[in-house]
Amino acid sequence: MLAVARILEFVMSAPGLILLATDACTLCDKAFDLLASMPELRGAGLDVVDVAEHAVLLETYGERLPVLAWRDQTGAILQPLDWPFDAPAVSRWLRNIEQ
């Protein structure tokens, strides 16, 4: 039941940018630092989601971490951007999402 509650909590979260990551992941830390350094993301909400707390996310994205994605109002994860990415790649990705 706790797993279902966690998935529902994830799905019910607000739409926006998410970084799929996990603890003790140095690449995830690098991705977070990169995103935090980008002026165009200042003020934008970024949820960091630990995939280890969500079995479905762990199964789907665990080997691809870190992953930047857009979560829509239904909780669906759209247009995942797998690591490695840099600031120019994130900027291009953001422009595509805005279209």
State the Cα–Cα distance between residues 5 and 75, nearest whole angstrom.
Answer: 14
Question: Among 28-37, 69-78, 86-95, which stretch is predicted with the lowest mean pLDDT?
Answer: 69-78
Q: What is the mean pLDDT of residues 64-76?
A: 90
Task: Indicate which CATH number applies to the domain containing 30.
Answer: 3.40.30.10
- The pLDDT, as a whole number, for residue 97 is 85
Instruction: Decide: 21 and 62 in contact? Cβ < 8 Å.
Output: no
Range of the domain at 56: 2-98
- The rounded distance, in Å, linking the Cα atoms of 77 and 17 is 10
Token pair of 71, please?
């979560």
Domain count, the chain: 1
Per-residue pLDDT tens over the stretch 20-45? 999 999 999 999 999 999 998 887 78
